[in-house]
C-alpha cells in the first residue's frame, strides 16, 4: 500500500473522471499543505476517489493522477507513464522513421496533467503547467535520460502559469540552436527564445498534406512564424512561388534561415497581415493556396468574443486572396474555441467576403498530441481545409 498521504476533501460527490478539480469544489484543508504536494482525495461522503497533485493557490486545485488506491505517485509511477508515452511515439507511431522532433508527453493526453515534453533531436524541452509536476522534474529527467542517453534538457514555465500556480521556475541557459529534420525538410530551432521552442510540432502532418497540393502553385502563408508551411510548400511541394508574412521580425529571420537550409526560394515579408492584404488585394493579386495559421488569440474566457472577432476579420480578408477554385487552409490553436464555433466563424467570414466555401477536410494536431476522451482540452488545434469559389 502507498504511504499515508495528506487528505483533501471535496465539497461534492465525484461524478466525473476529468483530472481537473477546481478550487470552488474543494474544502480548505484544516492544516496548510505545501503547494504541489501529492494527496489522497476524498469526496463529500468521505469516500476515496483518487490521488493527485494539490495546489491551494491554483484555480485547478487538484490534478488527479490515479484512481487506483494501490498506485503510489512516485518514481515508479512516472516510469510507467513515461514508458507508455514513449512507446506510443516510437513503437506504434514509428515517428523516428520520419523525424527526430515530436511531442513525447501531451499532459492529460498521456496521463501526466501539467506536463508537456517535446523532443528536438538531442534536446528535450519540458514545459510545466503545474507546480506539483515541476517538483518531480529531477525524477522525470532521470527517467528520460535512460531513453535518450546523452540528451540535454531545457525546461520552463510561462510567466502566467508561474503566477497562477504560485511557483518559481528558473530555466537553465538555453541550449545552442540546432537543426531538426521532418519528412526530409530541415528546420533550425532555438529552445528558450521568446517563442518557446521556435517550432510547432503539432502541424507536422498538416504541413505534409499541404505540400501535396502545391506543385506549380502560387502559395501565400499568413502568420508564417518560422516558415513551416512556406518551406514545405517550396521544398517538398514544388510550389512555383511562395510568400510568407509575419509581423515578428525575429521569426521572419528564422524563417529565412529555414528556407536557406532547404535551398528553397521563399519571399518572407515582415508585415501586419491586415495592412499587407489591404495593400495587395486592390492590385488583383490572388494565390492558388492560402494558409492562415495565427497564434493563440486568447487564453482568457472573458476575451472569447474578441478572439472570435479577430478570427472573423482575418479569415474574411484571407479568403479574398484565394484565386477562384483555390485552396484555403485556416487554423485555430485557441483551445477555448471549439471546432464547431471556429467553423461557424469561417462560414460568416466567407459570407462577408462573398466567397463560396466547400470544406474538403477537417484535421488537428498530429497523433503525438493525443487527447484523453474524458479531458478534451488537449484537443486544441483545428485545421479547416476549404476549396474556395
Contact 82, 140 (CB under 8 A): yes
In terms of CATH architecture, what is 75-165? 2-Layer Sandwich (3.30)
3-state secondary structure of 37: strand
3-state secondary structure of 363: strand
Binned at pLDDT 50, 70 and 90, residue 1 comes out as low
Which long-range contacts (C-beta less than 8 Å, at least 24 apart) are formed by 336-342?
Answer: 336/298, 336/299, 336/300, 336/301, 336/304, 336/307, 337/297, 337/304, 337/307, 337/308, 337/311, 337/382, 339/382, 341/308, 342/311, 342/382, 342/384
pLDDT at 192: 82
Contact 71, 48 (CB under 8 A): no
Contact 320, 328 (CB under 8 A): no
Return the closest-CA partner of residue 312 out of 338, 330, 298. Answer: 330
Instruction: Please write the tens of the pLDDT for every residue from 234-267.
Output: 999 999 999 999 999 999 999 999 999 999 999 9
Domain boundaries for CATH 3.40.50.150 within the chain: 191-388
Domain boundaries for CATH 3.30.750.80 within the chain: 75-165
The pTM of the full predicted model, rounded to 2 decimals, is 0.94
Instruction: Please write the tens of the pLDDT for every residue from 48-98.
Output: 999 999 999 999 999 999 999 999 999 999 999 999 999 999 999 999 999
Q: CA-CA distances (angstroms) from residue 216 to 242, 289, 324?
A: 10, 11, 16
CATH number assigned to the domain with residue range 191-388, chosen from the 4 options 3.30.1960.10, 3.40.50.150, 3.40.50.12140, 3.40.50.300:
3.40.50.150
Bridge partners, 330 (sequence order): 292, 384
CATH number assigned to the domain with residue range 7-66, chosen from the 4 options 2.30.130.10, 1.20.59.10, 3.40.50.261, 3.30.450.40:
2.30.130.10
Return the closest-CA partner of residue 228 out of 383, 41, 55. Answer: 383
Taking residues 307-316, report their average pLDDT: 96
Amino acid at each position: 500500500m502507498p504511504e499515508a498521504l495528506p487528505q483533501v476533501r471535496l465539497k461534492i460527490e465525484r461524478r466525473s473522471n476529468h483530472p481537473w478539480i477546481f478550487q470552488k469544489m474543494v474544502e480548505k484543508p484544516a492544516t496548510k499543505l505545501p503547494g504541489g504536494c501529492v494527496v489522497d482525495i476524498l469526496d463529500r461522503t468521505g469516500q476515496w476517489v483518487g490521488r493527485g497533485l494539490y495546489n491551494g493557490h491554483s484555480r485547478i486545485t487538484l490534478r488527479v493522477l490515479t484512481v487506483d488506491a494501490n498506485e503510489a505517485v512516485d518514481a515508479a509511477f512516472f516510469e510507467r507513464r513515461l514508458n507508455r508515452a514513449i512507446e506510443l511515439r516510437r513503437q506504434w507511431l514509428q515517428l523516428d522513421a520520419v523525424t527526430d522532433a515530436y511531442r513525447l508527453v501531451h499532459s492529460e493526453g498521456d496521463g501526466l496533467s501539467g506536463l508537456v515534453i517535446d523532443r528536438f533531436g538531442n534536446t528535450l524541452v519540458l514545459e510545466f503547467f503545474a507546480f506539483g509536476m515541476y517538483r518531480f522534474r529531477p525524477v522525470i529527467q532521470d527517467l528520460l535520460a535512460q531513453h535518450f542517453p546523452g540528451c540535454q534538457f531545457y525546461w520552463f514555465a510561462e510567466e502566467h502559469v508561474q503566477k497562477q500556480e504560485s511557483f518559481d521556475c528558473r530555466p537553465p541557459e538555453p541550449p545552442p540552436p540546432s537543426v531538426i529534420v521532418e519528412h526530409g525538410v530541415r528546420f533550425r530551432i532555438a529552445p528558450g527564445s521568446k517563442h518557446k521552442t521556435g517550432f510547432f510540432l503539432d502541424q507536422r502532418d498538416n504541413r505534409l498534406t499541404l505540400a501535396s497540393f502545391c506543385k506549380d502553385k502560387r502559395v501565400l502563408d499568413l502568420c508564417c512564424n518560422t516558415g513551416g508551411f512556406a518551406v514545405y510548400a517550396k521544398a517538398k511541394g514544388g510550389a512555383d512561388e511562395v510568400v510568407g508574412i509575419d509581423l515578428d521580425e525575429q521569426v521572419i529571420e528564422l524563417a529565412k534561415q529555414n528556407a536557406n537550409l532547404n535551398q528553397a526560394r521563399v519571399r518572407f515579408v515582415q508585415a501586419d497581415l491586415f495592412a499587407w492584404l489591404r495593400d495587395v488585394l486592390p492590385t488583383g493579386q490572388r494565390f492558388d493556396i492560402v494558409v492562415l495559421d495565427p497564434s493563440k488569440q486568447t487564453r482568457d474566457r472573458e476575451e472569447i468574443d474578441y478572439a472570435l472577432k479577430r478570427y472573423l476579420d482575418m479569415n474574411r480578408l484571407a479568403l479574398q486572396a484565394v484565386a477562384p477554385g483555390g485552396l484555403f487552409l485556416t487554423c485555430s490553436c485557441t483551445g477555448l474555441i471549439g471546432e464547431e464555433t471556429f467553423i461557424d466563424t469561417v462560414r460568416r467570414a466567407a459570407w462577408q467576403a462573398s466567397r463560396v466555401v466547400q470544406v474538403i477536410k477537417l484535421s488537428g494536431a498530429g497523433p503525438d498530441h493525443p487527447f484523453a476522451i474524458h479531458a478534451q482540452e488537449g484537443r486544441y488545434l483545428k485545421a479547416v481545409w476549404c476549396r474556395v469559389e
